[in-house]
Amino acid sequence: MKIKRLISTFSALAAILCLAAAMPASANPMAAIHVTVPFAFEAGERAMPAGEYEVEHRSANATLVITAPSGERHALLTFPTGDPANPKGPRLVFEKVGGTYRLAEVWVTGAATGAGVPATKAQMLVAKGAKRERVEIALVSK
């Protein structure tokens, strides 16, 4: 039963990644955002090193595409977060628990809401009852 569920999950993720890679650049009205992240962090289930990143939020399909310093591209599903009546400036928001940072939100210029990145089950278990800290990094459009 667990193997079927795991295969189903991997199949869905593979389909999402294929769709994200196949979408033309014109599908995203936002320019790519470049940011230097000075610490290692988790984005979904991926461990990401400190470094220069390119971030694209494709609001039409609620996808966040992150290009790592190595050139690898990772796609994450997002959910809308924040108050549309009070949009925030462009930035990445991380949740720090202990010594681990998790990408929690992405806010891009011109968007009425942010893109929330869901925590994994493992991240939720670690954070349960622990002190959480918000860490924000301003974004610069290129």
**What pTM, to 2 d.p., does this model score?**
0.73
Reduced to 3 states (helix: H, G, I; strand: E, B; else coil), residue 132 is strand
pLDDT the model gives residue 60: 80
pLDDT the model gives residue 72: 94
3-class SS string, 27-83: HCCCCCEEEEECCCEEECCEEECCEEEEEEEEHHHCEEEEECCCCCEEEEECEEECC
pLDDT the model gives residue 111: 76
Q: How far is CA 76 from CA 25, 119, 137, in A?
A: 17, 11, 19
Predicted confidence (pLDDT) per residue in 82-107, tens digit: 888 877 788 899 999 988 999 999 98
Reduced to 3 states (helix: H, G, I; strand: E, B; else coil), residue 128 is coil
Average pLDDT score, the chain = 80
pLDDT the model gives residue 65: 93
Confidence of residue 5 (pLDDT cuts 50, 70, 90): low
